[in-house]
Amino acid sequence: MIDLSSINGLTQDSREVRDGFLFAAFKGEKSDGRDYIQSAIDAGAAIILTDDSVTPISGADFINSANPRKDFAHLVAKFYSGQPDTIVAVTGTNGKTSIVNFVEQIWRSLGYNAASIGTLQGGMTTADPISLHKNLQKLKAEGITHLAMEASSHGLHQHRLDGVNIQAAGFTNLSRDHLDYHADMDEYLTAKSRLFTEVMQDGATAILNADIPETKTITQQIKRQATGDIWTYGRAGQNLKILSLTPTAHGQLCELKILNDTYRLNINLVGEFQILNALCALGLVLSQNKVDTEKAIHALENLSGARGRLELVNGHPSGAAIFVDYAHTPDALKNVLTALRPHTKNRLICLFGCGGDRDKGKRPEMGKIASSLADAVIVTDDNPRSEDPSSIRRAILDAAPHAPSASNTLTEIGNRRDAIHQTIKTLTQGDTLVIAGKGHEQGQIFADHTDPFDDVTVALNAIKQL
């Protein structure tokens, strides 16, 4: 479409335009790039890539596209052409960060120069095309041969991953999240499905969770629109199957059928959902050729959890277990509490809040889940952003008493630091506390400022003060 040798650079930010640049002008979430076309031309833009509704003006060549975001992503991929040799991606509501982290760990155990990118590397799960492809080129130059990536629904919907050479892709699950962006759950699933039907390479392998209803829909879409193998994992998995799980002191004894053989592995991860994450990661690795299958399988026994994903905070004098987890959706909170129950001898305690300026429908659902599954619930602040924190807490609290099997103790402590300190003071032998919602995050976001805040650090400080 464009001779890339004729342009000096590409950008979708008019402030970054220089002589001979291509400026991509399309509507964004916060501003409309089409409003800055004249500014881009004045700054030296040679080519304007925009949608069919825009009438060309003098000063630059115009390319009107039915899908300028998609075309821009592919142009960026060609302009910054370096990518690691093997790239896999994973999408779904929960589990993405753990899975890409596990994939990297398995690859490294096999001797590959591997990396993973996603939420833990900088906040936005899927970067804009230019940042993404500059990073891919940098990783390639640094000798990274194997890369695992998170693929968010936002990134897929906005075509940010188009042009990435993805050779295998995984799907974890679908539960309520991001309905402040997507119109409904069907639109949310459609965005996720693009990874398999439009983004990954022709002939790539799809690794799908067999235990969720959405897999049937995605499988049908793949068979209609793409080629390549479909692997499934889970209790009902065909290629990577859970036969039984037995809780141990620090993880689980897992009986698994992997491809055609049965294995008994001690895996130091808590909860069935983490074993599902590990199997998805293993599938992404095994789907690539020339992998030492036995070594990859036994690498599961040495996996360690990702930062802020059921991260154990040690040191409470009573021996009580404290976990920090990113669970910020109803399904994720349910999974975490269900996972920790078999490992809890006394009280299971849940401390959490909900984010402001995000899907408000999650709040009562999470209140009901916490009250139904935990013995004690402490409702506190998450990232209030521009909303009144007390109104967010009230939406959670109002639903909690009406939950089936509601918890015996329900407490509101608005200040998150105080909530963590006060709760840790009450822990006794056999208790398990999960501090949910923020996980790896290093700040707490308010209307006009962000305070440094790390749940793990706060919990450790609380233990020191006992």
The CATH number that applies at residue 92 is 3.40.1190.10
Query: Within the chain, how many helices (H) and strands (E) appear?
Result: 14, 21
Q: How confident is the model at residue 122 (pLDDT cuts 50, 70, 90)?
A: very low
Among 289, 288, 291, 265, residue whose Cα is nearest residue 278:
265
The reported pLDDT for the residue numbered 316 is 96
Bridge partners of residue 452, in order along the sequence: 443
For the chain, give the longest Cα–Cα distance.
75
pLDDT at 107: 98
**Percent of the chain, pLDDT > 90?**
74
Residue with tokens 């003071």: 425
Q: Which of 27, 54, 77 is the last residue of a domain?
A: 77
- Which pLDDT score is estimated for 120? 40
CATH number at residue 9: 3.40.1390.10
- Residue 194 has a pLDDT of 86
Residues 183 and 236 in one domain: yes
Kindly report, residue by residue over 247-280, the tens digit of the pLDDT: 987 789 999 999 999 999 999 999 999 999 999 9
Whether 371 has a pLDDT exceeding 60, the answer reads: yes
Q: What percentage of the chain reaches a pLDDT higher than 70?
A: 94
224-248 burial: b if 16+ Cβ within 10 Å, else e: eebebebbbbbeebebbbbeebeee
Show which of 269, 302, 335 is a domain's final residue: 302
Pair 232, 380 in one domain: no
Residue 326 and residue 228 in one domain: no
State pTM to two decimals.
0.82
Instruction: Indicate whether 280 and 250 sit together in one domain.
Output: yes
Q: Which of 17-31, 109-123, 174-188 has the lowest mean pLDDT?
A: 174-188
Using pLDDT thresholds of 50, 70 and 90, give the confidence band for residue 123.
very low
197 & 94 share domain? yes
Question: Looking at the structure, do residues 263 and 205 belong to the same domain, yes or no?
Answer: yes
Distances (CA, A) of 404 to 207, 285, 328, 364, 465: 35, 41, 21, 13, 36
What confidence tens digit (pLDDT) does each residue in 375-424 have?
999 999 999 999 999 999 999 999 887 766 766 789 999 999 999 999 99
Query: Each residue of 150-185: pLDDT tens digit?
Result: 998 778 888 889 999 999 999 998 865 544 454 566
* pLDDT recorded at residue 407: 65
352, β-bridge pairs: 379
The chain-wide mean pLDDT, for the chain, equals 91
In order of 49, 75, 79, 222, 330, the CA distances from 2 in angstroms are 10, 8, 11, 30, 46
Question: Residue 148 — very low, low, confident or very high, per pLDDT cuts 50/70/90?
Answer: very high
My answer on whether 13 and 115 are in the same domain is no
Number of folded domains that form the chain = 3
Amino acid at 96: K
**Can you read off the two tokens belonging to residue 271?**
């909860």
How does pLDDT run across 317-367, given as a tens digit for each residue? 999 999 999 999 998 999 999 999 998 999 999 999 999 999 899 999 999
Q: Do 153 and 194 share a domain, yes or no?
A: yes
Same domain, 329 and 224: no
**In Å, how far are 110, 162, 324 from 303, measured between CA atoms?**
13, 31, 18
pLDDT of residue 381: 98
Task: Examine the domain organization and report whether 285 and 404 are in the same domain.
Answer: no
> In which band, very low, low, confident or very high, does the pLDDT at 223 lie, cut at 50, 70 and 90?
confident
DSSP assignments along 39-69, one per residue: HHHHTT-SEEEEETTPPP-TTSEEEEES-HH
Here the CATH number for the domain that contains residue 325 is 3.90.190.20
For residue 393, what are the domain limits? 311-464
Which pLDDT score is estimated for 2? 78
Separation of alpha carbons 122 and 223, rounded Å: 35
Q: Would you say 377 and 350 are in contact if contact means Cβ atoms under 8 Å apart?
A: yes
Is 188 found in the same domain as 246? yes
Task: Note whether 112 and 221 are same-domain residues.
Answer: yes
Domain termination residue (choose one: 42, 77, 112): 77
Any residues with CB less than 8 A from the CB of 365 and at least 6 apart, and which? 176, 330, 399
DSSP state of 402: G
